Chain A
């Protein structure tokens, strides 16, 4: 059995209640940190553990904390990004719904390390039932002296709020999230300045993903060496993967980074193979934004090495023959899947969710959707395929926030690896599936 850090007790009934969580050793990390460690020591533990941001970009968490401006004298904020809305990703919900106290414990530790007195959990509006669970957990934590004034008699005070969003994917981008949290329209800000200097209400702010924050208590309890001994290369620790699509056992799995993808898809411990014994066709490895890979490239890299679940291995080969670990939304497609139709679904999503602030993304996402719709419905022409590649190339890298890239990559990669299928749609003037 692989090491479990986040999902260790996930099946214990009543884990969402304070008593059960406490009984299983919960909040011991808060006690240890607040009583025995300085904020810098907590940051040091996280930095040395090699933990990387689990929201998609994989930026080292400790380094991100190190950027926070402590000299300005302004209040500092710690914000949890619970706006999980990437198609294919549903790992954070799993933690928030079943183990909310783990998230709160991580929030307290992070806030302590950064010197924040007020912290926020920004939760996706559609997850209203999870919001209720978290709010109940926050109330319990207040009642037991783990939030509020003078936590556990250590003199450290923290207020924690949970704020629902209005249902916009773009608010998962950290600066759009801060705008939304301030009560404004959720448009991403132009960077620099970065949130570590000018963030929430103009003050230094760190925004971290739910999974990242939920990992911190374990690191504090067990030490950074224990954490960094798990994993491979620069990909330390474990990762939650939300597997879905044409597999026998969809669900949220915790894996040790470095697990071979072939094992992940076919072993009974994880996905349990492809449904009905079908043939694997393609995998989107890290949520809808990352490039799609055909079966031969997802199982092995272009050089023939087995591909592993790690930041490095998945991106090996660049975008020519690689992809990204992303947020861990693992979408598996068997041979009955129409890649064009799947891509149209993604394109429709990005068209719908573009904030409309900068022109390449605002206009380009809608344009790509219209062209894909034309191809899928049998009215496409060969030059449409090149036009799609062209549009995606002109969106990528030219936008304010990564949503433009996220919209462009799936299109570019699907045509790169499955061009024949697009051409077949055009030749037959209908969808062959």
Chain B
């Protein structure tokens, strides 16, 4: 099959047939990549829900050069040959992204100062980039009490943006899913069925895929702000997973273990609960070296590794 040509924000790129606009933009990289709060390339059927990645298609294809009537979700729209896409060059897209950010924050508690996700939170990033400076609302927010789902994971439903990623992880990575979305509309919640505990070898990945602080690691809760810890790539021999992880250390102490995330915050490989929760001694691990943090997030602010020029550029653009 010949490659398909498309233009995103005046930059041309060629991609395989069957590629989404989002992945074509990721191929270009930089500012043309729309933010994704629910799309996760490793999870089948994810995306389309948060609407932050909406882009304008100003020309459908070479064959049909009409623009698409509505903004489209770039994570779920396939590229056509000759498509012209506008992301940051379209005022309409920018305005809508601002509105979507406002919607996502509408019922969010904004409790970043006490949230473990702060510093690596996608919603935080999104609101820095697209949020309003002041609020339009003084309405009461919907609230839920935090609950334990199993002995390793804490659920703060207040912070959840209902991206469905954790549900898909449970569906696709683990052998049984005991949690899902209950209820409807803004009162729907992630929950386990009749107080069942989430308990299987890969459940910890739910924490890693959560874009916000709704699902947090109970072994790490309130121990440290993430930007005070130092990430190291490490591995161990594991029979359940690849054993390739990132250790978040303070001095000689391993505060938490996560999977390795790429620059879009997506896991490179899912890891098992043994690696994540059990082995917390430096002697358990073969440390490879400092983890390069590619994101422009607050984590790299206190990073000992010198930022190279490319990352500096990224930071300025953001």
Contacts and interface: CB of A to CB of B under 8 A. Distances in A.
Interface stretch (A317-325, A335-343, A353-361): A353-361
A85 to B, nearest CB: 13
A76 interface: no
Contacts of A353: 184-185
Majority secondary structure of chain B interface residues (helix, strand, loop or mixed):
loop
Nearest to A190: B48
B54 interface: yes
A398 B50 CA distance: 10
A359 B70 contact: no
Given A190-B73, A351-B186, A400 B181 contact: no
A400 B48 contact: yes
Interface string A293-332: 0000000000000000000000000000000000000000
Contact of B49 (A365, A367, A397, A400): A400
Interface residues of B, number: 33
B71 A356 contact: no
Contacts of B52: 359
Given A398-B100, A399-B51, A355 B106 contact: no
B107 interface: yes
Nearest to A398: B51
Nearest to A361: B185
B17 to A, nearest CB: 15
A370 interface: yes
Interface string B175-216: 000001101111110000000000000000000000000000
Contact of A358 (B48, B71, B139, B187): B48
Contact of B103 (A185, A352, A357, A359): A359
A356 B99 CA distance: 17
A70 B49 CA distance: 31
Interface string B82-94: 0000000000000
A371 B136 CA distance: 11
B239 interface: no
A136 interface: no
Nearest to B183: A356
Interface string A379-405: 000000001001000100111100000
B23 interface: no
B162 interface: yes
B244 interface: no
Given A190-B76, A363-B106, A367-B139, A358 B188 contact: no
A412 to B, nearest CB: 15
A277 B92 CA distance: 48
A351 B106 CA distance: 14
Interface in B5-56: 47-52, 54
B100 A356 contact: no
B185 to A, nearest CB: 4
A272 interface: no
Interface string A82-125: 00000000000000000000000000000000000000000000
Interface residues of A, number: 29
A352 B185 CA distance: 7
Indicate the member of A185, A359, A366, A399 with the most B CB atoms within 10 Å.
A359
B162 A397 contact: no
A60 B221 CA distance: 57
B267 interface: no
A390 B102 CA distance: 12
Nearest to A359: B103
A364 interface: yes
Contacts of A365: 185-186
Contacts of B100: 359-360, 394, 398
A364 B103 contact: yes
B79 interface: no
Nearest to B77: A192
B186 A360 contact: no
B55 to A, nearest CB: 12
A425 interface: no
A397 B51 contact: no
Contacts of A363: 103-104, 106-107, 186
A366 B141 CA distance: 10
Indicate the member of A168, A371, A387, A394 with the most B CB atoms within 10 Å.
A394
Given A190-B76, A351-B186, A394-B99, A356 B162 contact: yes
Contacts of B180: 185
A362 interface: yes
Nearest to B167: A185
Interface in A384-433: 387, 390, 394, 397-400
Contact of A356 (B96, B103, B104, B188): B188
Interface of A: 168, 170, 185, 190, 351-360, 362-367, 370-371, 387, 390, 394, 397-400
Given A363-B107, A387-B136, 18 more contacts: A185-B180, A185-B181, A190-B76, A351-B186, A352-B185, A355-B184, A356-B181, A356-B183, A357-B49, A358-B48, A358-B51, A359-B161, A360-B100, A363-B104, A366-B106, A371-B139, A394-B99, A397-B71
Interface of B: 47-52, 54, 70-71, 73, 76, 96, 99-100, 103-104, 106-107, 136-137, 139, 142, 161-162, 164, 180-181, 183-188
20 contacts: A185-B180, A190-B76, A352-B184, A353-B185, A356-B181, A356-B184, A356-B188, A358-B50, A359-B162, A360-B99, A365-B186, A366-B106, A366-B107, A366-B186, A367-B106, A367-B137, A371-B139, A387-B136, A398-B71, A398-B99
